[in-house]
Amino acid sequence: NSGKSTTSALLKEMGWPVVEVDDIAQEKNNGIWPESEAVLDVLFEEANDEVIKLDNVMYVTSFLDRSDVERFYNAGFKIIELHATYEELRRRRISRDGYPMDNWERFDRNYNNYKKLVPDISKYFSLSVDTTSVDSKELASLLDKELRR
């Protein structure tokens, strides 16, 4: 809910090759979004293993653990981190999915795990953007400039 999908759609329009982990996971699961967290986690790891072998792509994913961040960084990927306040992420999630949303527990767990991880992996970030109050077009322009560097 930090603006990844909206921004990546704008970057696609600008001509950037974009690969989204959600699309890969759903495709690998016969076109159906996995209901099981365990299955989803396995599909995400499989997607990571496939995408890391690609050249010149923008990979959109909601979370990489420390070892995956290091793997992608060492493979030459720029790591661009998008974040927003917890309240804004929650507001966007409700706006997108309605309320009440199932699986708040996973949402909270992922958010808290991510917040613990950031200080340890931030050295790998080419760019970190707080998207709480950034317009998607402005964000796409900023990312376009960073990717061209």
**pLDDT of amino acid 17:** 92
d(CA 100, CA 52) in angstroms, rounded, equals: 36
Q: pLDDT at position 100, please?
A: 62
ω before 100 within 30° of 0 (cis)? yes
Q: What is the CB neighbour count within 10 angstroms for residue 64?
A: 23
pLDDT, average across residues 95-100: 74
Taking the C-alpha atoms of residue 147 and residue 57, their distance in angstroms, rounded to an integer, is: 10
pLDDT higher than threshold 80 for residue 97: no
Mean pLDDT score of the chain: 89
pLDDT category of residue 125 using cuts at 50, 70 and 90:
very high
pLDDT at 83 over 80: yes
**pLDDT tens digits, one per residue of 137-147:** 999 998 898 88
- Can you tell me the mean pLDDT for 79-89? 91
What is the Cα–Cα distance from 12 to 20, expressed in whole angstroms? 11
Determine the average pLDDT of the residues in 109-126: 92
Task: Name residue 128's beta-bridge partners.
Answer: 81
Q: How far apart are CA 54 and CA 25, in angstroms?
A: 17
Residues 6+ apart with CB under 8 A from 85: 130, 132
